[in-house]
Structure 1
Amino acid sequence: MQLRPLLLAAACAALAACNQGGGSENASAPAPSAPAAAVPKDPEAIKAALAALPAPYNAADLENGRKKFGLCRSCHTIEPGAPNMTGPNLHGVFGRNAASVEGYNYSDVLKASNIVWGPEPLDQWLAKPQEFLPGNKMTFLGVKDPKDRTDLIAYLMVESGYTGQ
């Protein structure tokens, strides 16, 4: 018996369980708390958006960040106006208060957290969500490598309309 297919199946099952938010109440489109910038589409605009990010994110590998976001995509959307899934839509996340996407059923601990999402709290969250905020519903184990987290956060900044908050 090969171990690799079993590990892959276990990883997929864990990702599918990511942030078990519950039924149809999570399917509504998010209401951003602040307008996000337009998401750049052409390669030059993407390069310019990356260069405009604060360090160390301005030197990140966006392709690696895109690949790492694949770990998140089973639970989260990032496109403007896209629906919530098992986790809330992440468009416009930077500068937004935690637990503020309308129509998403957040855990009580996240509602009471007073977190404003920025690169630093997101880095801590992505490293070990359950240690950063014990009692939250996100079952994701985290992104262990700091460089992968930097790349992922830079990707989120570019793709979610980061405006420098």
Structure 2
Amino acid sequence: MRLIASATLLALAAMAACPASAQDVTAGERSWNKCRACHQLGEGAKNLVGPQLNGLFGRHTGSVEGYSYSTANKNANITWDEAVFADYIKDPRAKIPGTKMVFAGIKNEKEIADLTAFLKQFDKDGKKM
């Protein structure tokens, strides 16, 4: 009986040490498949229908060289961080009215966190950090 109680306490302690909403980069890579028709990522990434997304976090809207942004995106004056991206990816046209991005959005918070973790791996040159 004591052994079972000890094992239960150890299991509970292990679960408490790992947050329930931990980001899953592998799941984020699967979510990236929703984005890759319009965006590229990684070394050699190019602008397609949408801009390449290397080094997204910390950069300003409308700032990727060589990409033709909508006026709305150029004038949005947003710096991408996790919270802004999460809000944006849920409904891009609500966050930046007039954006060219035609995407229904990702509503699931866990999926957004996983996608964010995946995107954050790539620096501005497309190298995995």
For this structure pair, what is the TM-score category when the shorter chain's length is used for normalisation? Answer: 0.7 to 0.9
Alignment: residue pair count: 105
Q: For residue 124 of structure 1, what is the aligned residue in structure 2?
A: 87
- Shift in Å, 1:132: 1.0
What are structure 1's unaligned runs of at least 5 residues?
Answer: 1-55
- Shift in Å, 1:61: 1.1
Structure 1 Cα separation of the partners of residues 77 and 61 of structure 2? 7
Identity of aligned residues (%): 40
Give CA deviations for 1:20-74 in whole Å, capped at 9, x if unaligned: xxxxxxxxxxxxxxxxxxxxxxxxxxxxxxxxxxxx8x92011110000000000
- Shift in Å, 1:94: 1.1
Q: What secondary structure sits across from 2:83 in the alignment?
A: helix
Structure 2 Cα separation of the partners of residues 64 and 94 of structure 1? 19
Q: For residue 27 of structure 1, what is the aligned residue in structure 2?
A: none
Matched ranges for 1:15-164 at <5 A: 59-158=22-121, 160-161=122-123
What are structure 2's unaligned runs of at least 5 residues?
Answer: 1-18, 125-129
Q: For residue 11 of structure 1, what is the aligned residue in structure 2?
A: none
Query: Amino acid of the residue matched to residue 140 of structure 1?
Result: F
Q: For residue 5 of structure 1, what is the aligned residue in structure 2?
A: none
Structure 1 Cα separation of the partners of residues 95 and 69 of structure 2? 16
- Cα RMSD, aligned residues only: 1.6
Q: For residue 3 of structure 1, what is the aligned residue in structure 2?
A: none
Structure 2 Cα separation of the partners of residues 138 and 98 of structure 1? 13
How high is the TM-score relative to the length of structure 2? 0.77
Structure 1 Cα separation of the partners of residues 63 and 92 of structure 2? 18
Structure 1 Cα separation of the partners of residues 117 and 90 of structure 2? 15
